[in-house]
Amino acid sequence: MPETAPSQIPVAVVGPTGYTGLELIELLCRHPRLRPAYLASARAEPARMTREFPRLAGRLPAGLAPDTEPINHDAIAGRCRLAFLCLPHEAAMEHAPQLLRRGVKVVDLSAAYRLKDPAVYAAAYGHAHTDPAGLARAVYGLPELFGQRLSGAALVANPGCYPTAAALTIAPLLRDGLAEPSSPIVYAASGVSGAGREPKPHLTLAEAGENFSAYGIGVHRHQPEIEQSLRWAAPDQAAAVRVLFLPHLLPIERGILETIVLEPARAGLTTADVTDTLRRAYAGHPLVVVRDEAPAVRDAQRTARVHVNARLVGGRIVAVAAIDNLAKGAAAQAVQNANILMGIDPLAGVE
Amino acid sequence: MPETAPSQIPVAVVGPTGYTGLELIELLCRHPRLRPAYLASARAEPARMTREFPRLAGRLPAGLAPDTEPINHDAIAGRCRLAFLCLPHEAAMEHAPQLLRRGVKVVDLSAAYRLKDPAVYAAAYGHAHTDPAGLARAVYGLPELFGQRLSGAALVANPGCYPTAAALTIAPLLRDGLAEPSSPIVYAASGVSGAGREPKPHLTLAEAGENFSAYGIGVHRHQPEIEQSLRWAAPDQAAAVRVLFLPHLLPIERGILETIVLEPARAGLTTADVTDTLRRAYAGHPLVVVRDEAPAVRDAQRTARVHVNARLVGGRIVAVAAIDNLAKGAAAQAVQNANILMGIDPLAGVE
Amino acid sequence: MPETAPSQIPVAVVGPTGYTGLELIELLCRHPRLRPAYLASARAEPARMTREFPRLAGRLPAGLAPDTEPINHDAIAGRCRLAFLCLPHEAAMEHAPQLLRRGVKVVDLSAAYRLKDPAVYAAAYGHAHTDPAGLARAVYGLPELFGQRLSGAALVANPGCYPTAAALTIAPLLRDGLAEPSSPIVYAASGVSGAGREPKPHLTLAEAGENFSAYGIGVHRHQPEIEQSLRWAAPDQAAAVRVLFLPHLLPIERGILETIVLEPARAGLTTADVTDTLRRAYAGHPLVVVRDEAPAVRDAQRTARVHVNARLVGGRIVAVAAIDNLAKGAAAQAVQNANILMGIDPLAGVE
Amino acid sequence: MPETAPSQIPVAVVGPTGYTGLELIELLCRHPRLRPAYLASARAEPARMTREFPRLAGRLPAGLAPDTEPINHDAIAGRCRLAFLCLPHEAAMEHAPQLLRRGVKVVDLSAAYRLKDPAVYAAAYGHAHTDPAGLARAVYGLPELFGQRLSGAALVANPGCYPTAAALTIAPLLRDGLAEPSSPIVYAASGVSGAGREPKPHLTLAEAGENFSAYGIGVHRHQPEIEQSLRWAAPDQAAAVRVLFLPHLLPIERGILETIVLEPARAGLTTADVTDTLRRAYAGHPLVVVRDEAPAVRDAQRTARVHVNARLVGGRIVAVAAIDNLAKGAAAQAVQNANILMGIDPLAGVE
């Protein structure tokens, strides 16, 4: 299995010691075409990967160095055709242009290139964007909604976890004129891996376990990202789009559930109407599963799928979507985007 | 402590082998005035309480029989002045009138006496109400909102867990004219003990653990109960009251968080306005804690308190309430109601 | 990926609606050579697989029937070259001979064919063995210890989860004369999926969550299975082998940790001695990872690996092994065995 | 309830912002005689207790300052008759003598005064003992084993969580000559609150959740503490006492289970023999519950009880004990010791 067949495409993972890095490496270890060839870390000391994550023992491909290597742009370019960046936003803006310049395609899992308007980015993330040229050419990698933009792209902004599920659920309803663009309330709940690997007081098992809480009410950075996707998906209604985003922290490791309430845009709307719209929107997109019943987090966990259900309840549209924040919400979607950039089967090795 | 002082009031727990029964017994074991004197079960065989719940070993009061006894109305009346009913709804309607007739006051923890309109009850619970006379005299035991009704009561309908938190949060906002009565959306999430002790496929750790799901969307029985409280609290707006209730199942044992979105009833409403209304409403009510930050489930767990926070977000009111479904959402509130019926300190032994 | 290439080998999963069945199907869905072609269930009504397990939606291979089919031996033989049995022990003994007779190789995940002595089987499982001929020809499929027996086999008894980790840890220490064969104490703890999918009172989240308990002390069926492996591995000490097995139930979905204490067989034994023995034993066996530190359940979870560490502590040998009960402890090992039976790469598609 | 009756005894909690501090405060808030009158913290800034622990909102006694106060020995002595120290070991050694000198009795929940031999202390804790005089007068507060020592004591070393359960289980078996003193193997598993409130990488929900691991194998500081108790309990066998202690980390908040294996000291020992010994040992001690079945963590959680079961299995003694690490393993036992020091009912307010 790990023999370096000529058909294999060597890739780098830059920032492999966080949870999205680990998830990506586990996916790449069994990917039929992409082969991890360079694990690059900004840490002062090289990290032995099987010490960071003992679960990788015996599973890394034969040729891969056991320790992380420095983020050396030339070395990465010498060995790899594509790099996944699992870095803080600021670091991503620093390394992406260097890699692109050397002919390495980039799938960036940070938020650095997600928000097209640098002012919106600065407001949401609290610092100026330092690579506006990169931002201008970056493509937002949500293939089921904006797949046509990805052809010929070299830099992909991999969407956020919450925004992937929210946009996939709401966009078709706006596009087909079923829901009021100013109405969406996204009640969302995520497992703790979404908050990263850094230990923080509210993330310990003694605090986060047997608990549930709201956070970032009305100020979460994913709210403008969701709105941007909806404006793109329904450009004629762009000015009216407004989303209320209410994230919560679940006492689980991974997975997201979003329960979304919208006002119908016209009278007499039925459950069949909204279901039909969703089914048509995702007819050729196997990673979005349109369901007749509300999905649970477990349905999507450790899969590359988003499960969606929608219905009319007391005159409102109520939709429920499940996604794995580390898979379709991060690493699996990054692999999907990389597959597209490399011109191979978009779904190869995504789960 | 367990000596039978003359000042102690003997009470019965009818249906002591479920989770609310256990919670009630644990509270009563350290209650300064109420003393469990009769544990009555409908089971064919007596249940040894310390076998049902080994955690009770050594903690039951000295005089109490170690096994459950039959539901014998005369025997209960001979020994107890008040009975807590932790029974299925139908059984509660059967036993409550028998006990009342014998002079035993009743706090019913089922839903049997919560919905004043027998037709609403029948629609929500799927069977006709068999004790309309009892229903007529029953008092809904939510002391912080409707405490004045409890004076002289003999039969108290102990409110549901979700409705307690929802009504306490929304009622003052309607009463003071701050929120539109047709607007409340109650996103709610509860620990699994709310579903009872019966093992069911979706309640196993292998299914409910590391999971989160919506259920009963638009058809949950607590929706009319919440609406009833809001109509009582704001009678002038009763006709307009409409609640969208969206319950979810949390992978935890106990505790509820409700995130509630409302439309303001007037322009210019501020966070200070809604906070002031809540603070004034609960000034003399220590079991409702009005907070400046959104509470977490853990804050209320195993306490008799409801923690509430409300704010303006993007032109909407967003409130967050935390409650323990077995404590203030069931047993602790039942003790509070029993204290009131017995004329002792309402907060004695509630936590 | 799911195209039916001529090089693919069609296989059946008999009993696909339990947890090992699900795990097996998920592995087979991405196996490079084995392709699930028949899902056979004893249920009266066909089960729609994506309703049983919504997480399979969109992931089953194109040609596979969406519903389970009856356990028809001829039909299975007409379509498949190998069958995995995920059935109760008694049912496995009924179907295995029928399939073998029709030329279908069998990997049995029940305990039906694990204990070579029918009397030991009857004592452990409480019923007589009904297929002694099958028992005689069955091969115990623990490739890292007894791989040579598998060549030419048609019926493989897939080992139990606890016994796989225990035997792999202890056998080399006995074989090399490092540990007393009568001394092993196996403290073991397993996630709840090991208890199956049937809801039972002690398996609900409200009971098993935030809990930990011992069970089956001294009477667990896996004790004779562990002892059998040790006798096979160290035949000269067979008469002295005696294991004390102490299983516990963990509040997690999957994974096992075993902490094993043994008396050294000779004075002066060092940590280096026991580590060397383990490393030599598993030099060519990548699924056993010999570690310098004690492994955690998480290290092995959702991998096909067993992680093992051993050391001298206060004059005793203390070993710690981690395994995933559904993977190397069941489905992944079954795939490994099937690969061997079919003459393909033993590790293909095991994780 | 919180009125300062003349019969109430004011006490201090020094170090109230950790998990044992919180647990102690919750117990004291409903204690019939002890009343928290001073919360002293070493932090530079006063901590608002209801911000540290929102669950305390509305529950602290009326007269208590809402913020922590400095650790001022004179001020504490001016207001309190006893102080609970919930501090790091080094800090406890600093403050205990100061408080004792001022006439304040001390129950120390750290390990500072547990190990009578300063050399053993230094070896286990890695620093010299700085209060040997205090160590000499301190009494080890395990009332069920060494209650007679507590009469007249002023400084109590509150035992460790693991050692409390282990000593209570093993001591009677040694004392009655049923078990070999060199044989005990204590396989123990604790919830994460035992590791304190400081966030550490291995304590996050993403790491500790769905996980189980061994730690401190053979080097845990509680091993000498257990051995000390056994030597005291069976002084004639003191020289032979040797314990192998194997702690594990459970994915739960609180609670400990210990599964203990011992070699019988004489042939023909029966389950009845070991059960009788335990029952006789704890006849007058309601906090030790001797059971006929193995207890679970849940049985003891949030109670002041230790549940114990023992049996003969394959020629060995296997005992299982459950305890709550924060209750009988820390705060509840501290309250029990304080009650004894103050001459009131030893069990008042322990649960």
**Residue ranges with strand state E in chain A:** 9-14, 34-40, 82-85, 105-108, 139-140, 155-157, 185-190, 213-214, 244-249, 256-262, 288-290, 306-313, 316-323
Q: How far apart are CA A211 and CA C9, in angstroms?
A: 47
Contacts with C15 (C-beta within 8 Å, 6 or more apart), sequence order: C21, C40, C41, C42, C85, C86, C87, C91
D258: nearest Cα among D317, D188, D198, D204: D188
Contacts with B78 (C-beta within 8 Å, 6 or more apart), sequence order: none
Radius of gyration of chain D (CA): 20
The pLDDT, as a whole number, for residue B7 is 86
Q: How far apart are CA A146 and CA A281, in angstroms?
A: 12
Q: State the SS3 of B76-142.
A: HHHHCCEEEECCCHHHHHHHHHHHHHCCCEEEECCCCCCCCCHHHHHHHHCCCCCCHHHHHHCEECC
- Residue of chain A nearest D204, judged by CA positions: A204
Please say if the pLDDT value at position D2 is more than 60: no
- Name beta bridge partners: B214: B248
A323: nearest Cα among A234, A228, A257: A257
Buried b (16+ CB within 10 A) or exposed e, A204-224: bbbbbbbbbbbbebeebbbbb
pLDDT category at A7 given cuts 50, 70, 90 is: confident
Structure tokens at C30: 């991405």
Q: How far apart are CA D95 and CA D116, in angstroms?
A: 18
- What integer is the mean pLDDT of D338-348? 97
Structure tokens at D163: 């050692």
The pLDDT, as a whole number, for residue D261 is 98
Chain C residues 225-284 with CB within 8 Å of chain D: 242, 244, 246, 248, 250-255, 257, 259, 261
Catalytic site residue from B29, B80, B86, B161: B161
In B, which residues are within 8 Å of D348 by CB distance?
1
Q: How far apart are CA B304 and CA B351, in angstroms?
A: 6
Q: How far apart are CA C120 and CA C129, in angstroms?
A: 10
Q: For residue A319, what is the DSSP state?
A: E
Task: Return the sign of the alpha-carbon dihedral for residues A308, A312, A313, A318.
Answer: positive
Please say if the pLDDT value at position D3 is more than 60: no
Report whether D38 contacts D10 (CB < 8 A): yes
Sheet containing strand B256-262, strands side by side = B213-214, B244-249, B185-190, B256-262, B316-323, B306-313, B288-290
Q: Average pLDDT over chain A, rounded to whole?
A: 96
Q: How far apart are CA B340 and CA B107, in angstroms?
A: 11
C233: nearest Cα among C275, C284, C181, C185: C181
**Residue ranges with strand state E in chain D:** 9-14, 34-40, 82-85, 105-108, 139-140, 155-157, 185-190, 213-214, 244-249, 256-262, 288-290, 306-313, 316-323
Report, as residue numbers or ranges, the catalytic residues of D: 161
Q: Which amino acid is at B133?
A: A
Chain D residues 102-161 with CB within 8 Å of chain C: none
Residue C86: C-alpha distances to residues A30, A292, C20 (Å): 26, 29, 7
- Name beta bridge partners: B321: B258, B308
Structure tokens at B331: 């047993």
Report whether D225 contacts D171 (CB < 8 A): no
Please say if the pLDDT value at position D54 is more than 70: yes
Q: Average pLDDT over chain C, rounded to whole?
A: 96
- What integer is the mean pLDDT of A30-49? 96
Report whether B212 contacts B249 (CB < 8 A): yes
- Is B161 part of the annotated catalytic residue set? yes
The pLDDT, as a whole number, for residue B247 is 98
Q: Average pLDDT over chain D, rounded to whole?
A: 96
Q: How far apart are CA D215 and CA C295, in angstroms?
A: 10
Q: Please name the residue that has the structure tokens 């004639």.
A: D236
Task: Please indicate whether, in this complex, the C-beta atoms of D251 and C252 are within 8 angstroms of each other.
Answer: yes
- What integer is the mean pLDDT of D170-192? 98
The predicted-structure confidence for D273-300, as pLDDT tens digits, reads as follows 999 999 999 999 999 999 999 999 999 9
Name the CATH code of domain C162-328 (choices 3.40.50.300, 3.40.30.10, 3.30.360.10, 1.10.10.10).
3.30.360.10
The pLDDT, as a whole number, for residue A6 is 60
The pLDDT, as a whole number, for residue D300 is 98
- Residue of chain A nearest B202, judged by CA positions: A296
Report whether B71 contacts B9 (CB < 8 A): no
- What integer is the mean pLDDT of A3-22? 88
Q: How far apart are CA C294 and CA D316, in angstroms?
A: 26
Q: Is D284 helix (H, G, I), strand (E, B) or coil?
A: coil
Query: What is the pTM (predicted TM-score) of this model?
Result: 0.97
Contacts with C157 (C-beta within 8 Å, 6 or more apart), sequence order: C108, C111, C112, C113, C114, C138, C139, C140, C141
Phi, psi for residue B89 in degrees, rounded to 5: -55, -50
Q: List the alpha helices (DSSP H) in A128-282.
A: 132-137, 143-146, 161-175, 205-208, 222-233, 271-281
D14: nearest Cα among D34, D33, D35, D42: D42
Q: How far apart are CA D275 and CA D292, in angstroms?
A: 8
- Name beta bridge partners: B316: B313
Q: How far apart are CA C123 and CA D2, in angstroms?
A: 62
Q: For residue D13, what is the DSSP state?
A: E
Please say if the pLDDT value at position C3 is more than 70: no
Tell me if chain A has a CB within 8 Å of the CB of D54: no
Taking the CB of residue C315, how many other CB atoms lie within 10 A of it?
Answer: 12
Task: Please indicate whether, in this complex, the C-beta atoms of D291 and B30 are within 8 angstroms of each other.
Answer: no
The pLDDT, as a whole number, for residue D7 is 86
Selecting from B213, B298, B311 the residue whose C-beta is nearest the C-beta of A211 gives: B298
Please say if the pLDDT value at position D1 is more than 60: no
Mutation site, B25, B29, B55, interface D, largest D CB count within 10 A: B55
Q: How far apart are CA A321 and CA A167, in angstroms?
A: 10
Q: How far apart are CA C12 and CA C104, in angstroms?
A: 10
Q: How far apart are CA C158 and CA C138, in angstroms?
A: 10
In A, which residues are within 8 Å of D330 by CB distance?
none
Mutation site, C30, C53, C55, interface A, largest A CB count within 10 A: C55
The predicted-structure confidence for D94-106, as pLDDT tens digits, reads as follows 999 999 999 999 9
Q: List the alpha helices (DSSP H) in B204-300.
A: 205-208, 222-233, 271-281, 297-300
Please say if the pLDDT value at position C4 is more than 60: no
Task: Please indicate whether, in this complex, the C-beta atoms of A209 and D19 are within 8 angstroms of each other.
Answer: no
Break chain D into its structural domains and give their ranges. 9-158+330-341, 162-328
**Homologous superfamily of B9-158+330-341:** NAD(P)-binding Rossmann-like Domain (3.40.50.720)
The pLDDT, as a whole number, for residue B3 is 41
The pLDDT, as a whole number, for residue D337 is 98
- What integer is the mean pLDDT of C160-172? 98
The pLDDT, as a whole number, for residue D218 is 86
Please say if the pLDDT value at position C5 is more than 70: no
Chain B residues 205-224 with CB within 8 Å of chain C: 205-206, 208-210
Q: Which amino acid is at D291?
A: R
Structure tokens at C266: 């000779």
The pLDDT, as a whole number, for residue D6 is 60
Q: How far apart are CA D110 and CA D124, in angstroms?
A: 14
Please say if the pLDDT value at position C6 is more than 90: no
Spans of chain B below 50 pLDDT: 1-4
Provide the ipTM. Answer: 0.96
pLDDT category at A32 given cuts 50, 70, 90 is: very high
- Residue of chain B nearest D209, judged by CA positions: B210
- Name beta bridge partners: D256: D190, D323
